[in-house]
A and B are shown apart, each in its own frame.
Chain A
């Protein structure tokens, strides 16, 4: 082995020593940062300065044996020294940048954890204002829709009152409340649902797409969405088994109600399909034709008129929900109605709880550097 290869080996070994030492340095810096954010940069400088001295000495040590390699060109030795100095500077700057970057990542990670905790906390309270800031209250234009903001606030209160009423119903049914007491509770719950439909009707005038898409609802509730709410026939199917025992007449009546609701839902769905069809026909045009461009505003105007009909659909769907609820109230005796409303409220609570659990489920965290 000649002198040249020995020199290269030494150079390489020197490089490795550098790298290892640097990694050890970073590890120390991270520990320093997590314990003490303030003076870490000072520590870094110091250590780095020490490191630099070390490498300089080592490198000076190496320049000696490498001289025979360099002797063929005596002038380039100055160039080499300058090049090595530049390399040192560049490497130092790179290390500093890397440290600053890691420091920032660490701070961001802490912030992210805090935000996640906040979001989970708010979710558990069943109020979704924070979540919806992006897609509803602040629309694409960046301005806040006050009608919808008001609705979401009211809905939060509505849910609180709903939960309280459910507890009251449960206690009354498990205890020995009289039919009169149950009757009052039932009436309160019915009025409470009327309040919700009233709120929805006002909000629909503010932003019908928000209502149609059920954006205020929990995710599992939204899974069952039909024109801004639940299908009355669907809820009947789920909950009527819990109403037993029912008389023959009542069973017939409930079954007929389910059928009627289904028919009404189908009629509304078909009407909505027709609206979709006419809307797309109104809006669509050949982008390359001249007439397509001249008709543009006319088409938009027509389409705007068609969209007004969407508000009617939301109103009719909610009207159907109210009518179905009222009819059940007619069919059932007081105690049965109380059990029915408890079953309905409990079922919706479970769907909301499921949504929260799903949102908070553990997921793979992004690996740290």
Chain B
């Protein structure tokens, strides 16, 4: 069973965390920019990442759905929506130009192969239409 990770912990997909990251690795909320950086790192290093509010039951739904496809997702938790919005801006800023409008991110959010797929709505739609498995395979998330 995949445990949910607050920002630092080592996981089978990623290399061991750097000492700086490890220092701020407690469940108590660290500085926002450090967290943002860590989210980017997690997304870049893990094929499947789920971002969600702490204690949210929908995160559980997303995790179960992905596990049903044979995937072990990395789960990142935030304390509240403000932190999530900050992270979303950071992620969008990474890919796009500066000064672009901050994306409204819907939690829980699913990242596959380094890019944002969407919320549970989108995940369901992609799953029902049969597109989820190819996406997962392309991202190298499946063993097959």
Chain A residues close to B by CB (< 8 Å)? 253, 256-257, 260-261, 263-264, 266-268, 270-272, 274-275, 278, 309, 312-313, 316, 319-320, 323-324, 327, 330
Residues of B within 8 A of A (CB): 55-58, 60-62, 64-65, 68-69, 120-121, 124-125, 127-130
- Contact status A278-B65, CB under 8 Å: no
- Which of B68, B69, B120 lies in contact with A316, CB distance below 8 A? B120
Which residues from B are CB-within-8-Å of A320? 124, 128
CA distance A253 to B120 in the complex (A): 23
Do residues B128 and A267 form an inter-chain contact, with CB atoms below 8 A? no
Q: Is A278's CB under 8 angstroms from B57's CB?
A: yes
Complex-state Cα separation, A261 to B129, whole angstroms: 10
Q: Which of A266, A275, A323 contacts B57 (CB 8 A)?
A: A275
Q: How far is the CA of A271 from the CA of B124 in the complex (A)?
A: 14
Partner of A257, one of B60, B64, B121, B128: B128
CA distance A320 to B129 in the complex (A): 11
Shortest distance between the CB of B108 and any CB in chain A (Å): 10
B61 partner, pick from A261, A271, A324, beta carbons under 8 A? A271
Bound CA–CA A313/B121 (angstroms) = 11
A270 touches B60 (CB 8 A): yes
B130 touches A272 (CB 8 A): no
Q: Please give the distance in Å from B18's CB to the nearest CB on chain A.
A: 34
Q: Knowing A319-B124, A320-B124 touch, does A264 contact B65 (C-beta < 8 A)?
A: yes
Main secondary structure of the interface of A (DSSP, over half): helix
Q: For B55, give its contact among A268, A278, A313 (CB under 8 Å).
A: A278
- Chain A residue nearest in CB terms to B68: A263
Are A309 and B57 closer than 8 Å at their CB atoms? yes
Chain A to chain B contacts (Cβ below 8 Å), 23 pairs: A257-B128, A263-B65, A263-B127, A264-B65, A264-B124, A264-B127, A264-B128, A267-B65, A268-B61, A271-B60, A271-B61, A271-B64, A274-B60, A275-B57, A278-B57, A309-B56, A316-B58, A319-B124, A320-B124, A323-B125, A323-B129, A324-B128, A330-B129
Residues of A within 8 A of B69 (CB): 263
- Decide yes or no: A323 and B64 within 8 Å by CB, A271-B57, A309-B57 being known contacts: no
Question: How far, in angstroms, from A324 to B128 measured CA to CA in the complex?
Answer: 7
Given A309-B57, A316-B61: A256 touches B130 (CB 8 Å cut-off): yes
Residue of A nearest to B61 (CB): A271
Give the one of A253, A271, A324 with max B CB within 10 A.
A271
Q: Smallest distance from the beta carbon of A309 to chain B beta carbons, Å? A: 6
For the complex, give the distance between the alpha carbons of A356 and B140 in Å: 54
**How far is A292 from B125 in the complex, measured between Cα atoms in Å?**
44
> A257-B128, A316-B124 known; A309 and B58 CB under 8 Å?
yes
With a cutoff of 8 Å between Cβ atoms, the chain B residues found around residue A312 in the complex are: 58
* Among A272, A309, A323, contact of B124 (Cβ-Cβ < 8 Å): A323
Contact B121 A267 (CB under 8 A): no
Contact B129 A327 (CB under 8 A): yes
**Is the beta-carbon distance between B128 and A272 smaller than 8 angstroms?**
no
Q: Once bound together, how far apart are the Cα atoms of A323 and B120, in whole Å?
A: 13
A271 neighbours in B (Cβ, 8 Å): 57-58, 60-61, 64
CA gap between A275 and B64 in the complex, in Å:
14
A316 contacts across to B, CB distance below 8 A: 58, 61, 120-121, 124
Greatest chain A CB density within 10 A among B55, B57, B61, B124 is at B57
Q: How far is the CB of A212 from chain B (nearest CB, A)?
A: 14
A278 and B128 alpha carbons, distance in the complex (Å):
29
Which residue in B64, B120, B128 is a CB contact (below 8 Å) of A261? B128
Of all chain B residues, the one with the shortest Cβ separation from A324 is B128
Q: How far is the CB of A328 from the nearest CB of chain B, in Å?
A: 10
A267 to B71, CA, bound (A): 14
Most buried by B among A257, A268, A330: A268
Asked, given contacts A267-B68, A271-B64, whether A260 binds B130 with beta carbons under 8 Å apart, the answer is yes
Q: Measured between alpha carbons, how far is A261 from B65 in the docked complex, in Å? A: 11
| Contacting residues, chain A, for B58 (C-beta < 8 A) | 271, 309, 312, 316
**A266-B56 contact, Cβ under 8 Å, with A323-B124, A323-B128, A327-B129:** no
CA distance A339 to B5 in the complex (A): 49
Residues of B within 8 A of A264 (CB): 65, 124, 127-128
CB neighbours (8 Å) of A266 from chain B are 64, 68
A319 to B119, CA, bound (A): 13
**Min CB–CB distance B2 → chain A (angstroms):** 14
Besides A263-B127, A316-B61, A316-B120, 13 other A-B contacts (C-beta < 8 A): A264-B128, A267-B62, A267-B65, A271-B57, A271-B60, A271-B64, A272-B57, A278-B57, A309-B57, A316-B58, A316-B124, A324-B128, A327-B129
